[in-house]
Amino acid sequence: MKFSLRLGNNNLSGKYSMEARATVTPRQLTKHEIRKEKSHSRLGLVSSNDDSTAASAELHDVAVIGLGYVGLPLCLAFAKSGANVLGVDVDSTKANKIIAGESYIKHIPSGDIAAAVEAKKLTATDDFSKLMNAEAILICVPTPLTVNRTPDLSYVESTVRAIAPHLREGQLVVLESTTYPGTTDEVVKPILEKGSGLIAGEDFYLAYSPEREDPGNPKSNFSDCPKVVGGFSRRCLEKACSLYKRIVKNVVPVSDCKIAEATKLMENIFRSINIALVNELKVIYAQMGIDVWEVIRAASTKPYGYMPFYPGPGLGGHCIPIDPFYLTWKALEYGHHTRLIELAGEINTSMPDYVITRITDALNDASKPVRGSRVLVLGVAYKANVDDDRESPSYKIIESLENRGALVSYNDPHVPVIREGRSNGAVAGRASVPITTDYDAIVLCTDHESYGSIDFMKMDVPLVDCRNACQRRPRNYYAA
Ligand SMILES: NC(=O)c1ccc[n+]([C@@H]2O[C@H](COP(=O)([O-])OP(=O)(O)OC[C@H]3O[C@@H](n4cnc5c(N)ncnc54)[C@H](O)[C@@H]3O)[C@@H](O)[C@H]2O)c1
């Protein structure tokens, strides 16, 4: 008896077929093959003697789960390559916006989404059953930390549990979320296998490929950024590499999923540690009367062995403040303390306190206490020209000032209203206010391009600048 996958008029059996599926004789079925047969009938794989027809369905080359800062650009890159893309998110408002051709991420133009939707290359849903019609499933859901700063894999786990009942033979599943080495093999694989009755590397392909999205950087071009890929097996690696070759010029295959997972962590740990270094130097040099920004500019002229990192009010975003601690947690399993990572984390998380000290200095020089002073914070996005305010150090600064009795407002052209997030309960719902001189101090936390046109010289309000953003410095200027 022969089996083939019938989805309306489409026949998928050739495209992603694995050798084992071609012919199955029921009398000779092994335990593993019985599981496969069950899966075939569940997924609409019907006997060629069976006249019942499977439901017709739209087929997709790629399904991307998690339509956030990583998932949405990934959808657009595949759609641009000519692939038929399905976006999937538990948040149905995102799916609806995509279908309507509307962007919900500031730096991604609605026109790009509308063009992909009109060309019938992109659609979106919150219905996980549609995943069975996709050849590849890419997972881009959040990987935050718990309140105790341990990895929170609940989003990955619930996504994988939701995929499993719809997984069919020959599909490729790739985890893109940043995580500790071992997640794909130890967490994703068992859930998929248990929930589907299929075997990784035999019945479906499994891989890990970290994202290198640089939101809001106009110089970053998706296809120019090489993509690291690790597979559960050689065939899994080949499948994943050929998929990503559609959207990037350079695919970097590595030995296994763990290497790919560790690569992403190394990149982000490298950044966290180097940012901690310049943050520490900033404080020391300031006391020596040395401008750290001028030092960095001068050091950057060295053509080898140095690359610039810049100080700031603290770390923000979904990556650098979080990812290094995924390794910290996993290293404990091997009896190791990641001392350098933790020290860097300590320095970086102390930066908002340094900013508070500088605000206090500014107010003190004007004979004002923090309590009752009006402070305007410029920028709550964690970096310039984006609307991403996750883990923003601005919120720590606002909270700390308010705990001391200050009256704090914020301005951010990219964040008109603060959305509720995982760690901003105290400020959620507040709205951006116009920039005026009615304040006792202004704190520039994010160097949005639009702030470049403000003439602080004319404002005559003490300015605490965390980004070296002010070229014409007012009389009462405080670097922080
Ligand atoms: N933001 C970046 O610049 C960046 C860069 C590289 C890697 N990463 C990594 O990529 C991953 C995603 O980050 P992001 O910034 O895109 O996050 P995000 O919060 O912007 O987007 C995640 C999306 O996943 C959705 N989601 C949550 N649970 C889901 C579920 N169970 N099923 C389906 N959808 C679900 C959310 O609704 C949201 O739309 C994280 O692991 C992050 O560390 C992020």
The model's pLDDT over 249-293, given as tens digits with 9 standing for 90+, comes to 999 999 999 999 999 999 999 999 999 999 999 999 999 999 999
Enter the tokens of residue 378: 């410029």
User: Ligand 1: which of 64, 67, 69, 75 to mutate, most ligand atoms within 8 Å of CB?
Assistant: 69
User: Ligand 1: which of 65, 98, 211 to mutate, most ligand atoms within 8 Å of CB?
Assistant: 211
Is the C-beta atom of 213 inside 6 A of ligand 1?
yes
pLDDT greater than 70 at residue 18: no
Ligand 1 atom with the shortest distance to the CA of 67: 39
Which of these, 243, 288, 6, lies nearest to 138 by C-alpha position? 243
Is the C-beta atom of 403 inside 6 A of ligand 1?
no
Q: Percentage of the chain with pLDDT > 90?
A: 82
Which of these, 256, 282, 295, lies nearest to 357 by C-alpha position? 282
CA of 69 to the centre of ligand 1 (A): 7
Enter the tokens of residue 303: 């053509």
Is the C-beta atom of 80 inside 6 A of ligand 1?
no
Pairwise CA distance, residues 266 & 385, whole Å: 26
Quick: pLDDT tens for 191-235: 999 999 999 999 999 999 999 988 878 788 889 999 999 999 999
Pairwise CA distance, residues 102 & 94, whole Å: 9
Place of tokens 């400020």: 427
Contacts of 87 (CB under 8 A, 6+ apart): 63, 64, 67, 71, 72, 75, 94, 95, 98, 122, 123, 124, 125
Mean pLDDT estimate for the chain: 89
Q: Is 319 a catalytic residue?
A: yes
pLDDT greater than 70 at residue 152: yes
Beta carbons within 10 angstroms of residue 13's beta carbon: 16
Place of tokens 């295959």: 253
The active-site residue, picked from 140, 319, 445, 470, is 319
Q: Can you give the pLDDT at residue 46?
A: 29
CA of 342 to the centre of ligand 1 (A): 24
Q: Can you give the pLDDT at residue 231?
A: 98
Q: Where are the beta strands (DSSP E) in 264-394?
A: 374-378
Q: Is residue 103 within 8 Å of 110, Cβ to Cβ? A: yes
3-class secondary structure, 463: strand
Quick: pLDDT tens for 29-73: 334 444 444 444 333 332 333 333 334 468 999 999 999 999 999
pLDDT greater than 50 at residue 332: yes
Ligand 1 atom with the shortest distance to the CA of 322: 43
Contacts of 449 (CB under 8 A, 6+ apart): 384, 385
| Ramachandran category for residue 461: left, alpha or beta (phi over 0 → left; psi -120 to 50 → alpha) | beta
Is the C-beta atom of 93 inside 6 A of ligand 1?
no
Name the closest-CA residue to atom 10, ligand 1: 177
Beta carbons within 10 angstroms of residue 47's beta carbon: 16
Q: Percentage of the chain with pLDDT > 70?
A: 88
Instruction: For the chain, list the domains and their CATH numbers.
Output: 3-53 (no CATH), 60-257 (3.40.50.720), 350-479 (3.40.50.720)
Name the closest-CA residue to atom 18, ligand 1: 68
Q: Looking at the DSSP assignment, which residues form a beta bridge with residue 477?
A: 463
Q: Is residue 140 within 8 Å of 179, Cβ to Cβ? A: no
Is the C-beta atom of 319 inside 6 A of ligand 1?
yes
Is the C-beta atom of 178 inside 6 A of ligand 1?
yes
Most distant pair of Cα atoms in the chain: their distance: 91
CA of 66 to the centre of ligand 1 (A): 6
pLDDT greater than 90 at residue 425: no
Is the C-beta atom of 155 inside 6 A of ligand 1?
yes
Number of helices (H) and strands (E) in the chain: give both, helices first. Answer: 15, 16
Q: How many residues does the chain have?
A: 480
- Is residue 372 exposed (0-12), middle (13-18) or buried (19+ Cβ within 10 Å)? exposed
Contacts of 160 (CB under 8 A, 6+ apart): 139, 187, 188, 191, 192, 195
Is the C-beta atom of 261 inside 6 A of ligand 1?
no
State the SS3 of 323-351: CHHHHHHHHHCCCCCCHHHHHHHHHHHCH
The phi, psi pair for 339, rounded to 5°, reads: -65, -45
Q: Is residue 7 within 8 Å of 44, Cβ to Cβ? A: yes
Output 367 or 26, whichever has higher pLDDT: 367
* Cα angle, residue 216 at apex, residues 281 and 441 outer, rounded to 5°: 55
Sheet bearing 134-139, strands edge to edge: 122-125, 85-88, 60-65, 134-139, 172-175, 205-208, 227-231, 251-254
Q: Is residue 291 within 8 Å of 141, Cβ to Cβ? A: no
Q: Is residue 173 within 8 Å of 159, Cβ to Cβ? A: no
Q: Can you give the pLDDT at residue 29?
A: 37
Amino acid occupying residue 79:
A
pLDDT greater than 90 at residue 25: no
Quick: pLDDT tens for 346-383: 999 999 999 999 999 999 999 999 999 999 999 999 99
